[in-house]
Amino acid sequence: MTPTDTLRRRLLTAAALAPLAAPLRAAADAAWPRIERAARGQTVYFNAWAGSDRINAYLQWVAAELGKRFGIKLEHVKVGDTAEAVKRVRAEKQAGRNADGSADMLWINGENFLAMKREGLLFGPFAEALPNFVLVDAAGMPTTRIDFSEPVAGLEAAWGMAQLTFYGDAKKVAQPPKSMVELTEFAKRNPGRVTYPKPPDFHGTTFLKQLLLEAAPERAPFYAGASAEAALLLAPLWSALDTLHPLLWRRGTQFPASTPVMRQMLADGELLISLTFNPNEAATEIAARRLPDTVVSWQHAAGTIGNTHFLAIPFNARAKEAAQVTINFLQSPLAQARKADIRIWGDPTVLAVARLPQAEQALFAQAQVPGSVTQPAPTLPEPHASWVEVIEREWARRYGQ
């Protein structure tokens, strides 16, 4: 069974249950005014990654809008890794703090969502009862309902889209490598000028998963939970890395800490290629004059890993009503269009823009700009989240310092 078949089967199951959701939807619409009234005056402690000045500035704008429109106070609790917040919620549950949690909202996906779902640490289902859910392109973007091959089940709400993307200066990278095989050949011709972030950095782990999907003779096992056969199934990954590492920056004995570090190394000429999970990142950096306008972006011809990032509410959130109103606003055309603007953040929208009224479609209009992906590649679904821990653990054992 192919990854697409697996995804299709899960979506058909969800579609079969859709008629059952209609009465629940009607009840939710009737309840929404009450939720908005209860939200007024509440404070939402939003635990979200704080590694980007652009994202932090966007959330400041969101906070101001929520205050004006809904009387909600948004506090950005800046975290370096979402796993920190997950551990805190887990500890609160163990301590019996079932109604006075420290977090009201989380920016989340992947293995963190899987852990919280399995351990009963999430409020909901709520996502498909939000008024703005009808604007989400759930049919065209299956990952808005499937998170790292795990059904979302209404426990988190789609916020933005992402796909692994590479970029470099066209003056130095005349023919961008469009596969991991081509990237390895490029590294042979340009030793020391290519690398990837050190796992467990999210982008570093994604690079490993991309290499795995391209190297493995069969992808289907990676769309089920990690199995006892993991050592055998991961062998193609380690073989490919053993070939690639001696060609990398510092011969693969050290790795940059993050993609922002790699971006600066590229700007300084130390690297020829960097990577990102935001297809608009290079365009945004060019617009901010931190990269030259000769930088181009590309994706591997046969596809690169893509996913949706989400917003969730812990089971013990104090401000559940305000969190729902906040998430609904973040799914609005106004907030989604501002987030998608390369001058602001450049994070792709989860909305079905073509179905919006003309005036709201116009909010998303952007001309093709330097640095944008000109030939988008197919999206490869994320392997099941349980593979992350296995890959990171084995990578550290083999290559970690």
Q: pLDDT tens for residues 158-216?
A: 999 999 999 999 999 999 999 999 999 999 999 999 999 999 999 999 999 999 999 99
Name the pLDDT band for 27 (thresholds 50, 70, 90).
low
Find, among 399, 14, 346, 378, the residue nearest to 199 by Cα: 399
Are 301 and 311 within one domain? no
CATH number where 347 lies: 3.40.190.10
Percent of the chain at pLDDT > 90 equals 82
Q: Are 83 and 299 in contact (CB under 8 A)?
A: no
Are 296 and 205 within one domain? yes
Name the pLDDT band for 270 (thresholds 50, 70, 90).
very high
Name the pLDDT band for 10 (thresholds 50, 70, 90).
very low
Give residue-wise pLDDT tens across range 103-143. Answer: 999 999 999 999 999 999 999 999 999 999 999 999 989 89
In the DSSP assignment, the letter for residue 373 is B
Are 32 and 124 within one domain? yes
Are 72 and 183 within one domain? no
Number of C-beta neighbours around residue 115 at 10 A: 19
Whether residue 371 lies inside any domain: the answer is no
Name the pLDDT band for 401 (thresholds 50, 70, 90).
low
Give residue-wise pLDDT tens across range 230-268. Answer: 889 999 999 999 999 999 999 999 999 999 999 999 999
pLDDT for 18: 45
Q: Which domain holds residue 238?
A: 163-305+379-399
Q: Are 285 and 263 in contact (CB under 8 A)?
A: yes
Are 248 and 390 within one domain? yes
pLDDT of 20 strictly over 50? no
Are 100 and 182 within one domain? no
Are 64 and 150 within one domain? yes
Are 144 and 207 within one domain? no
Are 207 and 273 within one domain? yes
pLDDT for 26: 57
Record the pTM.
0.84
Phi, psi (degrees; rounded to nearest 5) at 224: -115, 175
141/354 Cα distance (integer angstroms): 13
Q: Tell me how far CA of residue 201 lies from CA of 13, 101, 214, 249, in angstroms.
A: 34, 27, 20, 17
Q: Are 111 and 317 in contact (CB under 8 A)?
A: no
